[in-house]
Structure 1
Amino acid sequence: MAPASTHRRTKSSGPAPPNRTLIIDNGAYTLKAGFSSPNTESPTPSIIPNCLARDREKKVYIGSQLSKCRDFGEIVFRRPVDKGYVVNWEAQKEIWEHEFFEDKAPLHCDPRDTGLILTEAPNALPQLQTNCDQMVFEEFGFASYYRCTAPSLNAYNDIQAIFPVPPRAEPQPQPQLPAEILLLIDSGYSHTTITPLLLGKPLQAAVRRLDVGGKLMTNYLTRLLSLRQYDMRSDTYLVNEIKEATCYVSKDFTGDMARTWKGPKGDRRPDYGTSGGIAKDYILPDYHNRSQGYVRDHDPTAAGKLKALTAGKSADAAEDIVTLRNERFSVPELLFNPPDIGIRQSGIAQMVIESLSQVPFGLWPGFLANIIVVGGNANIEGFVSRLELEIRALAPAECIVRVGKPADPIVSTWQGGAVLAKDVDVLSKLSVTKLEYEEYGAGWVARKFGGR
C-alpha cells in the first residue's frame, strides 16, 4: 500500500488552490465582478448596480434587475456602501446572493471551490474589516479569500502602456508586475483617494482622502437645478444622468464664469443665450415616449411643455428641458476647490503634494511620473488634463509630471485583480484559506491582510 502522504496533502502544504477566482470590486455605486483563472484570456467584468431600488409602483429591483426598470421618477435607492465602506451587510448579502449564488445568476458560482478577491477602501475601520472576513468565510464559505485596497490592484496592470511613448523597433520586455512605483488617484462615487504604491503595497502614512465624489457632485447639481429650474430632489438618478452627460472640468474657470454671466438686472448680455457655446439643453425623459434623456445645443427659442400646449401643439410634441450653463463646470470644480461649498479640505492637486510630503523626496520623481487616475470621475471631460496642469504647477520644476487614465477607468481595478488571479503562486501567498481562518481565527487574518 502506498504511503498515506501520497494520497492527500499534508497540513503544511494546505488544500489545492481553487479552480477559478471571483474578483469583486465592491464600489459604492456599482459592483465590477467576474471570474479569472490561469486558463482564461482577457476576461471582462459585469458592471452591476450595487443597490436595492424601489420605484413609484413599489416594485423592488435587486442589483442587475435595475436594467428592467422603465420609470426612474421618484425611485428610491438603498445602498449597502456608505462613504466607501460596507456598513449594511444585510443589503450587501441580498445583492451578492442574487448575482452570484442563485441558480440562474449570470455569475453563478459555488463558493466552496471558488477563490475571492475583494476590494475595500483604504484605511477601513478594523471592525468593518472583521465583519467582512466573517461574512466571506462563515456566511458564504469561500475556499480562499484576499481582501485588499482597491488602489493596490491597479499595480498589476501594464501602467506604462497608458502613457504615450514613441514607437521602438526592438521588442519591449514584459512589464514588471506589480508596478514598482505608482501614484493612484481613485475618484469614485463616495470619495477620492490618493494612494502611493511601492511594489503594489500602499504607503499608509501617505494615503489621503478627499470627501468629494460622484454622490456629492450629484447632490450639489440637484440643489442647483432645484433652485433655478425644476424641483428634482426626488430624481437624483436622473440628475446623475444629467451630470454624466453634460458636466466638464474647465481649464479657465474664471473665463467660463464670465461667459455664462447673465449681466446686470434689466440689461442682459447679448451672448448670454448660448454663453459662448457652453449652454446645453438636456431633454428630460417622459417615461412614455422616451425612457432616456439626451443633450443638444441650447436653443433660446425652445420652450417647455406649457408653452407648447399654449401654442396649440400636441402634448406628445412638447418637451421638458433643463438648460445648463455654469452648472456644467462649477459642479466638477469641487474636486479642485472644495472650499467653494464650505468643505474644509484641500483640492485634489494640493492633496497629491500633501501625500508626497510623507514619502522620501528621492521617490517624488517616480511617483510624479506615474500618476494614474481611475474611477467614474476620471471620465469627466477635461479632468485629467486639468489635474496634470495643476500638479505640474505645484511640483518641483526638475520633476516630470505625467497623469494618465486607462482606456476604461471604471473597470481598471477589476482588470488588475484579474491579472493577479492568473498568477496562482503569488495569489496563494496573499490569500487566506477557509481552513486557515477556522484554525487561526479572524485576528490572524486581519494581521496577515494588514501586512504584519
Structure 2
Amino acid sequence: MVKASASQPRLSNVLVLDNGASTIKAGFATRNTDLSDCSVVPNCIARSRDRRLYIGKQLENCKDFGSIVFRQPVEKGYIVNWESQKEIWDRLLLDDDSPLKCDPKTTTLILTEAPNAPTPLQTNVDQIIFEEYEFGAYYRCPASQLISWNNIGQLFDPGTPTQHNAAECVLAVDCGYSFTQVIPVINGRPYQAGIRRIDVGGKVLTNYLKEMFSVRQLNMMDETYIVNEIKESCCYVSSDPKRELDICKRKKQNDIVKEYVLPDYKNLHKGILRDVAERHHLGKDMEQTLVVGNERFMAPELLFHPGDVGYRQAGLTEIIMKSAESVPEEYRALLLANIVLIGGNALLKGLKERLEAELIPMAPENHMVRISIPEDPIKFAWQGGVALGNNKTALEQHRVTRADYQEHGTTWLAKRMLGQQAPTVQTAGSAAMASNKRRRSPG
C-alpha cells in the first residue's frame, strides 16, 4: 500500500460532475455559480455517415445527423465502457480550450452514479478517479441524493426560508435516459428499501417511436437523432389516452395530429413541426414528412404501462406509492408532500398533472400530495451538488482524499462510500405533524 505523503496539495476547487447516460452536466462550485455556469455535454462518441468522428462537445459541430451512429459509455445507468468515457472526460477536463480545465490534484470531485451500482463497477470508478486522474478528493453518490441540497421548500412555497443543509425528506422521481427511478431521500441520504425502478427511460421511448414510424410510414430505425428530436418537440403525457386515441381514429383533422418536416441537411438542417393544414397552404410537395398522431402520447404512455412493450414492471404511479409505503410511517406524509421530478423526461408536458390525478386518490385520506418540477430538471442534481460543494463542513464529512485512498485502499473506500449513503432514520416530529394535515389539492 502506498503511504500518503505528509504534505498534501491544497484543495482549492470543487468540480460537480453529473455523469448521465445521455448528457454530462458539469461545472465548478463557487458562491456565485448559477445554472448558466453548468456545461451540458453529450456523453457519447458519434460517427457521421461521412465517417467523421465527434467526441462529446464536438457533436455541436456536426452538420449532418442523418444515419449518425452513437457509442455511449453508460448503459442502464452504469459506466461500462471506460475507453470511451475516459476519452470524453479527457476532452472535458484536460483540453486547454475547455472551460472546465482544471488541475485534478487540487480539485475535489463530486460525481454522480446510479443507485445500487455493482461493486466491481464502483471500484473501477474509484481507481480511475484516484489513479488515472489523481483527483485530490472525491465523493460519489446518486444524483437523487444531491437534489436534497437544493432549496426544496422554495419549489413548493417561494416564501420558504433559504435551506442551508440537506432537506429532511424528498421523494425524487428521476425520469432519465436509461431508466426511471423513485428514490426516497431522508436526511440527505437515499433510503435503500424504498428505491424502485422501471427500465423505461428516454432511450426506450425513442426506440419505440422509431419502431412505430418504421412500421407505419418511413424506415426510421437508423435515425435515432432525428426521432429523438421529434420526441422532444411534440410528445406529451395524455390525461385520457383512450379518449385521445378515439379522436385520432374518428377525426381526420384534429388538434393532436401534427406533421414533422424531416431535415435533408442541405436546405433544411433542423426538422420543423407544423399543423397538417400548413402543408397545403405552403405547397411544398417535395418535402419528406412524417405524420405524428397518436405516437405523440402513446410513446410516453410506456412510463405508466411498461407491460405494453414486454416489461413485467409496475407503472410510474404504482412505484411512487410503493416507494412511499416502504419507508417508516412517520416519513410517508412528508415524502408524498415533497415529490420532485428530475431528468429529461420531466420536461414532457402533462406528466406532473397526470401523476397528481392518479396519486391523490391512491394516497391516504390525511396525506397531501404535492409534485414539483424545477426550473431546469436536467441540471437540478448538478445544482444540488454545487450547494453541497459550497457547504465546506458537509463536504469535509462526505469526501475522501486521495491520501486516504492510498493509505487504506479500495475496500475501505467502498465501505466509506456505502456508509455515506446509508440513511439515518429516526422519529421525526415534523413528519408526524405533517401526517395529521388534511389532504388538499396541490397549489
TM-score between the two structures when normalised by the length of structure 1: 0.89
1:160 Cα deviation (Å)? 1.4
Report whether the alignment pairs 1:320 with 2:288.
yes
Report whether the alignment pairs 1:150 with 2:143.
yes
Q: Residue 77 of structure 2: which of 84, 97, 100 is its match?
A: 84
Equivalent position SS for 1:416: helix
Percent identity, please. 45
Q: Please, which runs of 5 or more residues in structure 1 have no aligned partner? A: 1-8, 262-268, 309-317
The amino acid of 1:320's aligned partner reads: Q
Runs of 4 or more, structure 1, over 3 Å off, are: 14-17, 300-305
Equivalent position SS for 1:344: coil
Q: What corresponds to 1:183 in structure 2?
A: 171
CA–CA distance in structure 1, aligned partners of residues 9 and 69 of structure 2: 44
Q: What corresponds to 2:364 in structure 1?
A: 396
Equivalent position SS for 1:156: coil
Q: What is the total number of aligned residue pairs between the two structures? A: 416
Q: What corresponds to 1:333 in structure 2?
A: 301
Report whether the alignment pairs 1:202 with 2:190.
yes
Q: What corresponds to 2:236 in structure 1?
A: 248
Report whether the alignment pairs 1:371 with 2:339.
yes
Paired residues of 1:304 and 1:319 also in contact (CA < 8 A): no
Equivalent position SS for 2:419: coil
Q: Please, which runs of 5 or more residues in structure 2 have no aligned partner? A: 421-443
Change (3 A) 1:189 1:41: closer
Report whether the alignment pairs 1:287 with 2:280.
no
1:300 Cα deviation (Å)? 8.2
CA–CA distance in structure 2, aligned partners of residues 52 and 247 of structure 1: 26
Q: Residue 442 of structure 1: which of 397, 402, 410 is its match?
A: 410
1:398 Cα deviation (Å)? 1.4
1:236 Cα deviation (Å)? 0.7
Equivalent position SS for 2:140: strand
1:223 Cα deviation (Å)? 0.1
CA–CA distance in structure 1, aligned partners of residues 16 and 10 of structure 2: 15
Aligned pairs for 1:60-79 within 5 A: 60-79=53-72
Q: Residue 159 of structure 1: which of 140, 152, 162 is its match?
A: 152
Q: Residue 386 of structure 2: which of 418, 426, 434 is its match?
A: 418
Q: Residue 122 of structure 1: which of 115, 123, 136 is its match?
A: 115
Paired residues of 2:11 and 2:107 also in contact (CA < 8 A): yes
1:205 Cα deviation (Å)? 1.1
Report whether the alignment pairs 1:380 with 2:348.
yes
Q: Residue 42 of structure 1: which of 23, 34, 45 is its match?
A: 34
Equivalent position SS for 1:184: strand
CA–CA distance in structure 1, aligned partners of residues 157 and 397 of structure 2: 34
CA–CA distance in structure 2, aligned partners of residues 358 and 173 of structure 1: 30
1:16 Cα deviation (Å)? 6.5
CA–CA distance in structure 2, aligned partners of residues 125 and 439 of structure 1: 24
CA–CA distance in structure 2, aligned partners of residues 251 and 284 of structure 1: 29
Equivalent position SS for 1:399: coil
Change (3 A) 1:91 1:160: same
CA–CA distance in structure 1, aligned partners of residues 168 and 218 of structure 2: 50
TM-score between the two structures when normalised by the length of structure 2: 0.90
CA–CA distance in structure 2, aligned partners of residues 344 and 393 of structure 1: 24
Equivalent position SS for 2:93: helix
Paired residues of 1:180 and 1:200 also in contact (CA < 8 A): yes
Change (3 A) 1:10 1:237: closer
Equivalent position SS for 2:274: strand
* CA root-mean-square deviation: 2.0
CA–CA distance in structure 2, aligned partners of residues 300 and 328 of structure 1: 19
Which range moved further: 235-244 or 335-344? 335-344
Paired residues of 2:22 and 2:44 also in contact (CA < 8 A): yes
Report whether the alignment pairs 1:131 with 2:99.
no
Structure whose CA Rg is larger: 1
Equivalent position SS for 1:145: strand
